[in-house]
């Protein structure tokens, strides 16, 4: 399974923010849209990722308020990315290695979507459920031993 398979099921709704946007406004968007991340874009290029993890760290640094901080001051400016062709096992490895819950999907310099650890886990479970159903159907249709070979009459 590839990242393109996950995005096909998930859809292509993207939420982005500018790095110079006030952090408080970005937090409002995340809360309003009930999302855990925003892709940070500047002049059409991916420049970072803002997740609830970076938001919490910024709020703690700023005496428990976003203050006048900008997204740039809180964002991860080197997010791990993948492509549409990246295999799901590789995505899982990268996400676990970097403790990343969200990963932008790129096609060269073009943002194609964002996948979350939840999306990856759901794809794995759905795939396993499908495989289990196919195996059970196969076993259910297994020929009985009488049907396999005619008994020889001597």
Per-residue pLDDT reduced to its tens digit, 85-128: 999 999 999 999 999 999 999 999 999 999 999 999 988 888 77
114 DSSP β-pair partners: 104
φ, ψ dihedrals at 65, nearest 5°: -150, 150
Rounded to two decimals, what is the model's pTM?
Answer: 0.78
The three-point CA angle 122-126-129 to 5° equals: 140
pLDDT score for 147:
53
| Helix axes 3-10 and 117-140, enclosed angle (nearest 10) | 100
pLDDT for 32 equals 96
pLDDT at 84: 96
Token pair of 113 as six digits: 């979507």
* pLDDT at residue 153, as a whole number: 57
pLDDT tens sequence for the chain (154 residues): 899 999 988 877 899 999 999 999 999 999 999 999 999 999 999 999 999 999 999 999 888 878 789 999 999 999 999 999 999 999 999 999 999 999 999 999 999 999 999 999 988 888 777 777 777 777 777 776 655 555 555 5
Give dist(CA 106, CA 109) in Å, integer.
6
pLDDT for 154 equals 54
Spatial neighbors of 23 by CB under 8 A, at least 6 apart, are: 55, 58, 66, 67, 69, 70, 71, 73, 74
Matching residue, tokens 């990963």:
103
């Amino acid at each position: 399974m590839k990242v393109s398979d996950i995005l096909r099921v998930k859809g292509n709704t993207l939420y982005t923010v500018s790095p110079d946007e006030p952090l408080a406004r970005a937090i409002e968007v995340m809360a309003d849209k009930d999302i855990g991340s925003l892709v940070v874009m500047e002049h059409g290029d991916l420049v970072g990722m803002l997740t609830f993890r970076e938001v919490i760290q910024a709020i703690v640094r700023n005496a428990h308020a976003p203050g006048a901080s900008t997204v740039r001051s809180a964002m991860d400016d080197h997010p791990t990315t993948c492509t549409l062709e990246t295999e799901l096992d590789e995505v899982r490895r990268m996400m676990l290695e970097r403790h990343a819950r969200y990963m932008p999907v790129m096609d060269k310099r073009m943002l194609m979507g964002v996948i979350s650890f939840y999306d990856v886990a759901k794809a794995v479970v759905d795939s396993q459920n499908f495989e289990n159903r196919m195996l059970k159907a196969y076993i259910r249709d297994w020929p009985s031993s009488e049907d396999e070979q005619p008994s020889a009459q001597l």
